[in-house]
Amino acid sequence: MPEYKLYINGEWVDSASGKTFDSLNPATEQSIGKFQEGNEADVKKAIDAAEDALEKWSEMPPPKRGLVLLRIAELLKQDKERLGKLVTTEMGKVLPEGLGDVQEAIDVFEYMAGEGRRLFGHTTTSELPDKFAMTIRIPVGVMGLITPWNFPIAIPAWKTSAALICGNTMVIKPSSDTPLCAIELVKIMEKAGVPPGVVNLVSGPAKTVGQEIVKNKKIDGLSFTGSRETGEWIMANVGVKKVGMELGGKNPIIVMDDADLALALDGIIWAAFGTTGQRCTACSRVLLHKAVKEKFMKMLVERTKKLRLGSGLEKTTDVGPLINKAATEKSGRYVEIGKKEGAKLLCGGEAPKGKGFFFAPTVFDGVLPDMRIAQEEIFGPVLSVIEIKNLDEAIEIANGTEYGLSSSVYTKDVRNAFVAMKKIEAGITYINSPTIGAEVHLPFGGIKKTGFTREAGIEGIEEFSHSKALYIDYSGRLQKATIDD
């Protein structure tokens, strides 16, 4: 059984704890390797290394940092097939999605490399004569990056690419369900020429590694993607530092009476059951117009029942496993909750017998907007269908949760589309396309209890940099701003 190390100050080392843990293939429940169970001492060493490396890395001109990011992208391209299979093996998503995970990392490193020649500030006027005013972007400093398991290469790439181009150094804590994907990404960064200490990786539990990253006063900024409950704990304990949060969603797809139903069906199947429902942007609510409900429900249930469970490495598989046993049990609990609340189970609703953390794609009808299955993030292949009579009602229901990440409307009416884009409370809205499919040159993130920052796109650098105001007075005399003449 291979044993993997921590990466601190350019060296692969054992944890001070002397302990290891296993990462399992969720399709087979077999271990793919042993990983270091890092602790507080390991994190402190990694932070010290990042602190020592900060000045030299931040002083490198951003276009030269961009060249390093381009080398990372090129190495990812060369290794895409192997890494895609690794994503599928360690996380469980089907192979085309595993390859897409790697492609997203390639795309974001290429995009952020280009930011090295921009990192835009602003020039503006001064209220005084012979005075110039502008802003520039400066690094946050030492960043703590806590990443999830559902996009085990793409999301670490989102965060590290933006952090690197802005001139930060960092300590990464990957999910303990997918540490190998993050380790392989760091190996590529090392090979591409990222200097020692700039990127450090400490695997291990949230109660040791995660808490130390959150609470350590030498961490200048924190970027977290994960559950709302963990995010709330972080906000209560992080102290005064720059924080980015992406905390999930309860994403609706509205299907209007004039929608292309075949197109809507394709989108819903992909958004609800792609990645086995384990995306923060997954569709978990369909708000279905009553005029087309009977016809569409037959189409939806028929198509859902045909989805084939199995290992993501098999070409015949449509839906892979959930990430672990706890996720399978959680989906099962929510099925029972839905039944008790009075929703009608139309298909799925159970875990098949045998090895692997599988759960049948599940559809509930007769769901009311205030039911728990329509309000709480399940993060599994459980879809709730809610009947609506018009767009106003649909938008009210869509907005009636604590989350606000992604949303979608299927309609042929341009007015419906524009009203929905304006009034739906979400960071992302799609028209005639599902709730998943974000592109790296557009900002990604939500509102309400989904979070409050944006990753990727031109706004993606804001989480990893500060804006600094500069004033140049060439008048040759003392000028006092904001003084009443």
Residue 241 and residue 93 share a domain = yes
- Say what percent of the chain tops pLDDT 70: 100
The arithmetic mean of pLDDT across residues 3-15, rounded, is 98
Please determine, for residue 432, whether its predicted confidence score (pLDDT) is greater than 70: yes
The CA dihedral of 430, 432, 435, 440, to the nearest 10 degrees, is -60
Q: Kindly state whether residues 155 and 285 are assigned to the same domain.
A: no
Judge whether 446 lies within some domain.
Answer: no
Q: Is the pLDDT of residue 484 over 80?
A: no
Q: How many domains does the chain contain in total?
A: 2
**Banded model confidence at residue 483, pLDDT cuts 50, 70, 90:** confident
For all residues of the chain together, what is the average pLDDT? 97
366 and 417 fall within a common domain = yes
Phi/psi of residue 367, nearest 5 degrees: -85, 135
- Give yes or no: residues 233 and 302 share one domain: no
Helices (H), 147-227: 154-165, 179-192, 211-215
Query: Per the domain annotation, does 200 fall within a domain?
Result: yes
Domain that holds residue 348: 251-431
Q: Same structural domain for residues 390 and 464?
A: no
CATH number at residue 368: 3.40.309.10
Last residue of a domain, one of 382, 402, 431: 431
The per-residue DSSP string of 397-429 comes to HHTSSSEES--EEE-S-HHHHHHHHHHS-SS--
| pLDDT more than 90, % of the chain | 98
Q: Average the pLDDT over 188-213 and give the result.
A: 98
Same domain, 92 and 19: yes
Average pLDDT (427-437) is 97
259 close to 295: Cβ distance less than 8 angstroms:
no
Residue 67 covered by a domain: yes
Q: What is the pLDDT of residue 481?
A: 83
- Stretch 46-66: mean pLDDT, rounded? 98
pLDDT tens digits, one per residue of 135-168: 999 999 999 999 999 999 999 999 999 999 999 9
41 and 177 both lie in a single domain = yes
pLDDT bracket for residue 225 (50, 70, 90): very high
Mean pLDDT of 244-260: 97
pLDDT score of 239? 93
What are the DSSP E strand ranges found in 53-141? 123-124, 131-139
pLDDT at 485 (0 to 100): 67
- The answer to whether position 444 is within a domain reads no
Output the pLDDT for position 414: 97
What is the spatial distance between Cα 425 and Cα 422, in angstroms, rounded to a whole number?
8
In a domain, 47, yes or no: yes
The yes-or-no verdict on residue 274 having pLDDT over 90 is yes
The pLDDT confidence band at residue 28, using thresholds 50, 70 and 90, is: very high
Query: Are residues 450 and 246 in contact, defined by beta-carbon separation less than 8 angstroms?
Result: yes
The predicted model gives 345-370 an average pLDDT of 97
Task: Taking residues 373-398, report their average pLDDT.
Answer: 98
For residues 462 and 456, give the distance between their C-alpha atoms in angstroms, rounded to a whole number: 10
Q: How far apart are CA 308 and CA 220, in angstroms?
A: 46
SS3 content of the chain, % helix, strand, coil (to 5): 40, 20, 40
If asked whether residues 218 and 337 sit together in one domain, one would say no
Annotated catalytic residue 280? yes
Q: pLDDT (tens digit, 9 = 90+) per residue, 99-133? A: 999 999 999 999 999 999 999 999 999 999 999 99
For residue 51, pLDDT over 70 is answered with: yes
One domain, residues 205 and 354? no
The pLDDT tens digits for 317-343 are 999 999 999 999 999 999 999 999 999
| Residue carrying the six token digits 């270091």 | 36
Residue 426 counted as domain residue: yes
Per-residue pLDDT, averaged over 446-466, amounts to 94
Whether residue 437 lies inside any domain: the answer is no
In this structure, the answer to whether residues 130 and 148 fall within a common structural domain is yes
- Looking at the structure, tell me whether residues 220 and 184 fall in a common domain: yes
Strand intervals (E) in 71-126: 123-124
Q: Which of 166, 181, 280, 283 is catalytic?
A: 280
Give the model's pLDDT for residue 73: 98
d(CA 2, CA 21): 12
What local confidence, expressed as pLDDT, does residue 1 receive?
86
Cα separation, 352 vs 215, in Å, equals 42
Identity of the amino acid at 320: G
- Are the C-beta atoms of residues 147 and 27 closer than 8 Å to each other? no
Spatial CA neighbour of 321 closest among 335, 304, 333, 308 = 308
- Give the CATH number of the domain where residue 106 resides: 3.40.605.10
Residue 300 sits in the same domain as residue 179: no
